[in-house]
Amino acid sequence: MPGAATFDSTESFGMIRGGHVDVSILGVSEADYACERIEYRANDKQALQVSAKGDLANYMIPGKVFKGMGGAMDLISNPDQTKIVVATSHTAKDGSPKVVAECSLPLTGANCVSTIITELG
């Protein structure tokens, strides 16, 4: 495709940390896509909690094996220069809300999410 560019994870995360990406979208499906000015990173474990203040908790599920932060920390590392969008289901499998007044899970980032998209809007 003319004008398209692809990058591996290391390069795309470096561009995000350096403030060279306008938008990061987290939590849609099991795929990674990168473009020069838009980073689309979809985690296999959708965002677990997003607070009204824009806090994000998505790296650890209580009672499960903890493998580390993964790429989410890189994706939200520069919220002043990169718009952070979380796209997730409105509720967890058990019916509990993912959009909450205050996160009860360990935070991936504080006050970093600017937009939340769910199946409800």
Q: Locate the domains of the chain by residue range.
A: 9-112
pLDDT digits (tens, 9 = 90+) for 43-90: 334 458 999 999 998 877 666 666 666 677 788 888 888 899 999 888
Q: Is the domain defined by 9-112 classed in CATH 3.40.1080.10?
A: yes
* Predicted TM-score (pTM) of this structure: 0.73
The pLDDT value given to residue 34: 37
Q: What average pLDDT does range 13-26 have in this prediction?
A: 85
Percent of the chain scoring above 70 in pLDDT: 74
- Spatial CB neighbours of 25, under 8 Å, sequence gap ≥ 6: 39, 40, 41, 42, 85, 86, 87
Q: How far apart are CA 102 and CA 54, in angstroms?
A: 9
- Distances from the Cα of 3 to the Cαs of 27, 32, 36, 37, 114, in angstroms? 26, 19, 9, 11, 28
